[in-house]
Amino acid sequence: MSGARHLYVHLPFCAHRCGYCDFVTLVDRVDQHDAYATALVAELALERDVLAQQLETVFVGGGTPTFTEPHALARVLESLPPANEVTVEANPETVTPELAALLRSHGVNRVSLGAQTFRAHLLAALERRADADTIRRAVGVLRTAGFDNVSLDLIYGIPGQSVADLDADLDDALALTPEHISAYELEAKPGTRFTYSHGEELQRQADAMETYFEHVVDRLTGAGYRWYETANFCRRSGDRDLRSRHNLGYWHGRDYLGIGIGAVSTLGERRWRNAPRLASYIAALAAGEAPPREHEPLSHDVKRRERVMLGLRLDEPLELSGVRAALDVAALARMRTLGLAELVHDAGAGDAVRLTPRGRLLGGGVTAELLT
């Protein structure tokens, strides 16, 4: 084993917790940013052996990584091993020329910007702090600083969102010509403040989202974007592959190391998740020990099933060798009859399976059918 080639770094701090968010986030805590950075660097050193010498990708996610104190953020970025793709997540209101310069000078070459929506009333519903101009200004700042790989996150199914709102969001996003767009449906987790205050409207949106997803796919592919993963689109641009190489690592079932609170690592048949508690994380690493973790062994069978679940999210075919045992042949025949899945014969690569565009819209149900 030459080691994992993908690294995820979690920076949990946020200026404010948005009502719909269910990530591991911590509001404010500016006084702890430095101690957390120290702990992160320590965990990375502790696990350095599981990583390859040369990494393919690093992804710094959050929280709002760019809300982290610049000094602490710089220390984290400095400690990272070299990689071909280094992505940092940012909220538009945090993107200043200074921040852009800091990221550039530390080898970051891709920024994923949490725009979510350009409509003022929808931003308010999501409790986001940026407005449409802030988003546009942030993209401008990044372009000026030399970033040629910018991704925008969009959310649909927001309480109060109409089809016209969605169309306007897509227009505004496309006008910024981002290299990459992620479009998610709003997932309102039961029990969150958000679900509580928007209950009925969310039910209405759930019905509307059936058609919204299709609409998003139609609009973005119509504008020349490649729908390469269920929720992800990239611009077709000559010989540049603008897909998120880091996330492709997950979808291809590759090993990855995740550091920071709540971060998950998958290495062969081991998977663990760091406990999502800041104090114990900092304390353990200060003592030179691994942070508290929850371990989940992965059997061959489970690995195969995950491989199918993840692989069928992509537009490229999933090779059958290695996953055959997880597939129900009769179900595959049924899904082919229904025009939801297709077999791809390739003399060189061997047989593979792929979902049709309609199959991808129903990917969850189709995958549940296909798995043994």
Partner 1 sequence: MPQQRIRNFSIIAHIDHGKSTLADRILELTHAVSKREMREQVLDSMDLERERGITIKAQAVRVEWKGHQLNLIDTPGHVDFTYEVSRSLQACEGALLVVDAAQGTQAQTLANAYLAIENDLEIVPLVNKIDLPQADPDAASREIADLIGDTPDHVLRISAKTGIGVEDVLDAVVERIPPPNGDPDAPARALIFDSSYDEYRGVVAFVRVVDGSFSTREPLRAMALGTRFEAQELGFFAPTRTDSRTLTAGEVGYVITGLKDVSKLRVGDTLTSERRPASEPVPGYKDVKPMVFAGLFPTDSDDYPELRDALEKLKLNDAALFYEPETSQALGFGFRCGFLGLLHMEIVRERLEREFDLDLLVTAPNVAYRVKPPNQEAWREVHTPSDLPDEIEEVEEPYIKASIIVPKEFVGAVMELNNDRRGRFDHLEYLSEERVHLTYELPLAEIVLDYYDQLKSRTRGYASFDYDLVGFRPGKLVRVDVLVGGEPVDALSLIVHRDFAYERGRALVERLREEIPRQMFDVPIQAAIGSRVIARETVKARRKDVLSKCYGGDISRKRKLLEKQKAGKKRMKQVGMVEVPQEAFLAVLNLNGDRK
Residues 6+ apart with CB under 8 A from 369: 328, 331, 334, 335
The owner of tokens 């479009």 is 183
Is residue 218 involved in binding partner 1 (CB under 8 A)?
Answer: no
Is residue 342 involved in binding partner 1 (CB under 8 A)?
Answer: no
Choose the stretch contacting partner 1; rule: CB under 8 A; options: 65-73, 117-125, 135-143, 254-262.
254-262
Beta 232-235 vs 318-319: how paired, if at all? unpaired
Q: Where do runs of H (alpha helix) occur along the chain?
A: 33-46, 70-79, 97-105, 120-126, 132-144, 163-175, 193-222, 245-251, 278-286, 300-311, 329-337, 357-361, 363-370
Choice from 20, 228, 250, 281 touching partner 1 (CB under 8 A)? 250
Pull the structure tokens for residue 199. Answer: 């209950």
Is residue 327 involved in binding partner 1 (CB under 8 A)?
Answer: no
Helix axes 97-105, 70-79, angle to 10 degrees: 20
Say which amino acid occupies 55: L
Pull the structure tokens for residue 56. Answer: 């393919």
Q: Give 257's strand partners.
A: 7
The owner of tokens 């798995």 is 371
Which C-beta is closer to partner 1: that of 333 or that of 349? 333
Is residue 264 involved in binding partner 1 (CB under 8 A)?
Answer: yes
The owner of tokens 């409207």 is 201
Which C-beta is closer to partner 1: that of 141 or that of 318? 318
Pull the structure tokens for residue 90. Answer: 């940012």
Is residue 47 involved in binding partner 1 (CB under 8 A)?
Answer: no
Is residue 184 involved in binding partner 1 (CB under 8 A)?
Answer: yes
Is residue 309 involved in binding partner 1 (CB under 8 A)?
Answer: yes
Site size toward partner 1 (CB under 8 A) is: 46
Is residue 361 involved in binding partner 1 (CB under 8 A)?
Answer: yes
Is residue 366 involved in binding partner 1 (CB under 8 A)?
Answer: yes
Is residue 183 involved in binding partner 1 (CB under 8 A)?
Answer: yes
Is residue 310 involved in binding partner 1 (CB under 8 A)?
Answer: yes
Choose the stretch contacting partner 1; rule: CB under 8 A; options: 25-33, 80-88, 168-176, 302-310.
302-310
- Residue numbers of the site for partner 1 (CB under 8 A)? 6, 8, 183-185, 187, 209-211, 213-214, 230-231, 247, 249-251, 256, 258, 262-264, 266, 271, 273, 296, 302, 305-306, 309-310, 313, 334, 338, 340, 360-369, 371
